[in-house]
Structure 1
Amino acid sequence: MTKPRTRIQARNSATILDAALDVFSQHGFRGATLDQIAEVAGLSKPNLLYYFPSKEAVHGALLSRLLTTWLDPLRAMNPEGEPVAEILGYVRRKLQLSRDFPRESRLFANEILQGAPRILPAIEGELKALVDARSLLLTRWMDEGRIARLPPHHLIFSIWALTQHYADFDVQVRAVLGPDHDPFAEAEGFLEVLFTRLLAP
């Protein structure tokens, strides 16, 4: 039977994961090292290895936590709700994730760009199952004439692309807009208009 972790152990584990998120989101899996993670966490490398036996273990823990965070906004779509409002709510939640969790978004993007070697089973399993289920819901709303007829998977892909862009390409977005613009405030209004018009039956 595994002993419950002490408060110090839980705190150190959280510190390591937060430091690893910084390092992995900047350097990717291949470019990151345990020495970098330990330095950012303010711990010795042997201390880090007490909690996580390898770089793969740290990365895996981050990706597992991230997948739950990433799927929750889509799970929150209510099948009994008003379709356009539910889809716009999903767009807003995804945009908020990009605003509040940019490191996590970049971590996920880096993993996908490398061919998803450490998270592909979850993408092909849990993520695909949820997207398929929500695509069936979108198709039902289309069949009922409540939203425009669109390829449902591609509708979801477009929401991902138009929201996660603001985290994954943050430097480019801010360089183009300039320092006086809040890209997320402007993006929310723009995306609401875009999808409201797109979804109109």
Structure 2
Amino acid sequence: MNKPLTRIQAMNSSAILEAALEVFAAHGFRGATLDQIAEVAGLSKPNLLYYFPSKEAVHEALLAQLLKTWLDPLRAMDPLGDPKPEIMGYVARKLELARDFPRESRLFANEILQGAPRLRAVIEGELKTLVDEKAAVLTRWMEEGRIAKMPPVHLLFSIWALTQHYADFDVQVRAVLGEGHDPFTEAGDFLDLLFDKLLTP
């Protein structure tokens, strides 16, 4: 059983993961180095290696944190709730994640674009199981006539695409909108309108 980290160890570990998030989000896994991560964390490379034995270990720790954050909003969709508010709430939570955790979103996107070598087992296991479970809930709601009929998994894909876009393509979004716009407020209003119309039977 691992000993609990001391306060200093916990602070250093947190600093390393925060620095790694910045470096991986900017350069991807292949472009990032332990030297870069150590520099951003304000630690020596040997000190970093005391906590994480390799770049892969740092990356895996980050991805483990990220997946919990990323899957929690979908887990929160209540099968016993009112369908449209449950789905609209999920859309809102995903947009909030894109707003509050843009580096994490880009880290996830970079991993997927590289073929998900460090995430494939989770994608094919935990994520697929959760999606299948929620797709069954959506299908039941559709069969009960409570929301419009459509392919449930593609509905979830569309929610991911329409929310994570605002984090992954932030520079493009802000350049096209121009000054004086709040992308996430405007996106929230638009997605409310879009999904309200889409889901109405």
TM bucket (normalised to shorter chain) is over 0.9
1:46-195 mapped onto 2 (5 Å cutoff): 46-195=46-195
Q: Which residue of 2 aligns with 1:17?
A: 17
Amino acid at match of 1:122: V
Query: 1:3 deviation in Å?
Result: 1.8
Deviations 1:23-79 (A, max 9, x none): 000000000000000000000000000000000000000001100000000000011
Amino acid at match of 2:152: P
Distance 1:73 1:179 in 2: 31
Asked whether 1:31 is paired with 2:31, we answer yes
**Relative to structure 2, which stretch is displaced further, 172-181 or 88-97?**
172-181
Distance 1:2 1:182 in 2: 45
Distance 2:86 2:110 in 1: 29
List structure 1 runs of 4+ shifted beyond 2 angstroms.
none
**Structure 1 residue runs without a partner (length 5+):** none
Distance 2:179 2:121 in 1: 40
Distance 2:20 2:39 in 1: 10
Query: 1:179 deviation in Å?
Result: 2.5
Deviations 1:103-126 (A, max 9, x none): 000000000000000010000000
SS across alignment from 2:192: helix
SS across alignment from 1:26: helix
TM-score (norm 1): 0.99
Query: 1:190 deviation in Å?
Result: 0.3
Distance 2:185 2:153 in 1: 27
SS across alignment from 1:43: coil
Query: 1:2 deviation in Å?
Result: 2.3
Deviations 1:127-165 (A, max 9, x none): 000000000000000010000000000000000000000
Deviations 1:153-199 (A, max 9, x none): 00000000000000000000001111211000000010000001000
RMSD, aligned α-carbons: 0.5
Distance 2:148 2:178 in 1: 36
SS across alignment from 2:137: helix
**Structure 2 residue runs without a partner (length 5+):** none
Distance 1:60 1:198 in 2: 37
